[in-house]
Amino acid sequence: MMDVKVEHNKGIPFLTSDAYRIHRHLFLQGIILLITIGVFFDTPDTLNLSVNRFWGWLTYYLFMNMLVFVNVYVLFPYFLAKDKIVPYVLSVVLFTFFALLILMVLQDQFYDIAVTRQEPSALAIFLSLSSSFLAILLFMGGMSAVLLFKPIMYSRIKKQELQKVASESELKFLKSQINPHFLFNTINNANILVEDEPEMAQHILTKLDDLLRFQLTDGFKDKVRLTDDIRLLIDYLELEKVRRDQFEFTVEMDGALDHIVVAPLLFIPFVENAVKHNLDSNGASYVKLNFKVENETLVFTCENSKPQRPVPQKVGGIGLVNIVRRLNLLYANTYTLEKIETAQNYTVKLKLCSVS
């Protein structure tokens, strides 16, 4: 299996990660401060810190924040996020134009921020309005570019992480479960049965072939049919039953499962853990699987008996932490995972919403 490396540009997490939300906000406020601070200068060399000038700056500062808020939380999600480019551009232009007119009226009526009280010419007003209008449009355009860039990069990062986790999960499963010891026991069982029960020996080898074939082919796909994944679980449990005299399992299916597709090897880690932790040398053990579809929700239940004596923990398997990590990447907020433990058994219930 080819090793998948996930490399990120150092600036990408700053734009995409929720951990930098406050930092992004402070950075934006710093930009707005730099844009509006010019109000305090009559000329590049003359600083005016009068009260009227402060109120003029505050109006300008709040105005810029209002533009950002309306663009980010109203115009962008309503138009651009839905690929309505022309309506978005028109709405930004019109909103900016009228908001700028209101700003100029407020500053002229209430706050004396002009260098001189002489009435400006029509040309001066036009040039001032045009330059401010274009500058604000450039600012809004830059903000929109960042908003468009964020989901693209987030999707790219998520895909890379998913590929990495999937590769690690598949590799660890192959190493921990289909290892030489497992293969030796299975083939040895088949070899013992060759003379007395050749049909059973052939059945064992066929199941082993199906199990390996699925992992080496379908296991690398993005999606597989749920029924195929269930077939893998049955093959795995049947091979386990051959190896253990007092082991029983059941697989129940309820609802329309044929049309559902899921990520490959999604359920095998739960079954792997159930088999590993219910091994009981002093008595019978079991694993019960149930798949149920209702109202576009797939409910998977895996129940296993607990041995009379605790089983020593062995190194191997992909572990619950990695399972949850993979579920988070694959199904985000559309799944729930519940664990129930009693003195006699251990149950895991996984719900996947909006399955299709």
Give the pLDDT of residue 349. 96
pLDDT at 124: 64
Question: Residue 71 gets which letter from DSSP?
Answer: I
Task: Name all domains of the chain by residue range, CATH numbers in brackets.
Answer: 12-158 (no CATH), 177-353 (3.30.565.10)
pLDDT at site 300: 97
CB 239 within 8 A of CB 207: yes
Q: How many C-beta neighbours within 10 Å does residue 136 have? A: 20
Which tens digits make up the pLDDT trace of 287-336? 999 999 988 899 999 999 988 766 555 544 456 777 887 788 788 788 99
Residue 76 predicted with pLDDT over 70: yes
Beta bridge partners of 46: 43
**pLDDT of 248 higher than 60:** yes
Q: How remote is the C-alpha of 175 from its chain's centroid?
A: 27
Q: Is the pLDDT of residue 122 over 50?
A: yes
Token reading at 89: 């551009």
